[in-house]
Amino acid sequence: MVSQTPYRWKIAVRKATLVLVTRNEGKTREYALLFKGLPLEIRALSEFDGVPEIREEGDSFEEIAIGKARQATRLLNIPAIADDSGLEVEALGGAPGILSARYGGEPSDDARNNRRLREAMRGKDNRRASFVCAIAIAKPSGQTLIYTGRCTGEILHEPRGENGFGYDPLFFYPPFGRSFAQLTAEEKSRVSHRGRAMMRLIDDFEALMVWLDAP
């Protein structure tokens, strides 16, 4: 699990502050677990008054994550971390993709999204799918870093499990023999698309902290 990995920094690492660009409670909980043990103070977007809605613009997970992080860091004048993630299903040509959160229509609703996915997959033999995540960190100067992760599994015919959020009840992870919604938060953080992107960030953590300190 990411949060239990022992870190020994080769450099003196001060504590840095980042704003997490999300109002999704499930995602906020996942990040709290992923960041545990790191010298970071994470402040949720909801802690700041008067912040307008952060727009999602772009044609890829990477572009959208970068755009959200840059908007937030400009508004608040502190470094921001944002991600964009979603589900790519082979039999649906990569859909729902960047539209994953709104696949069932507006406003975003997990149950409606899952119903539409089940309907779209009716009669499909190829159930292969991947969760994809892009994490962007932006500074007020506009400089940005990006980290990506991917987790491959299969789409179930029926939902399983009560944990997680989003498409987790329909996403079966073969190495564990369970859906994401049947995993504990700790199990999911080890193998999820977001956890894998975070591991790349952690592998780069010393350089990241130097980069945050630079003008």
Domain range for residue 178? 14-213
Q: What is the CATH number of the domain that holds 29?
A: 3.90.950.10
Share the mean pLDDT of the chain. Answer: 90
Q: What whole-number distance in Å separates Cα of residue 202 and Cα of residue 214?
A: 19
pLDDT in tens, 158-191: 999 999 899 999 999 999 999 999 999 889 988 9
Is 190 within a domain? yes
> Does residue 135 have a pLDDT over 60?
yes
> Does residue 124 have a pLDDT over 80?
yes
CB-CB contact of 160 with 178 (8 Å): yes
> Does residue 12 have a pLDDT over 60?
no
Q: Which residues are known catalytic residues?
A: 84
> Does residue 148 have a pLDDT over 70?
yes
Confidence (pTM): 0.86
Tell me what pLDDT residue 139 has.
Answer: 95
Mean pLDDT of 138-143: 93
Buried b (16+ CB within 10 A) or exposed e, 30-66: bbebbbeebebebeebeeeeebeebebebeebbbbbb
Is 3 within a domain? no
Tell me what pLDDT residue 61 has.
Answer: 97
Q: pLDDT class for 13, splitting at 50, 70, 90?
A: low
Contacts of 101-105 with CB under 8 Å at 24 or more apart are: 101/166
pLDDT in tens, 32-59: 887 888 888 888 888 898 889 899 999 9
Tell me what pLDDT residue 2 has.
Answer: 45
pLDDT in tens, 46-96: 889 888 989 999 999 999 999 999 999 999 999 999 999 999 999 999 999
Structural element, H or E, at residue 107? none
Is 7 within a domain? no
In which residue are the tokens 């007020």 written? 140
The number of domains in the chain is 1
Buried b (16+ CB within 10 A) or exposed e, 129-158: bbbbbbbbbbbeeeebbbbbbebbbbbbee
Is 6 within a domain? no
Tell me what pLDDT residue 3 has.
Answer: 42
Mean pLDDT of 97-119: 95
Is 9 within a domain? no
Is 5 within a domain? no
Is 1 within a domain? no
Backbone angles phi, psi at 150, to 5 degrees: -140, 140
Tell me what pLDDT residue 34 has.
Answer: 78
> Does residue 11 have a pLDDT over 60?
no
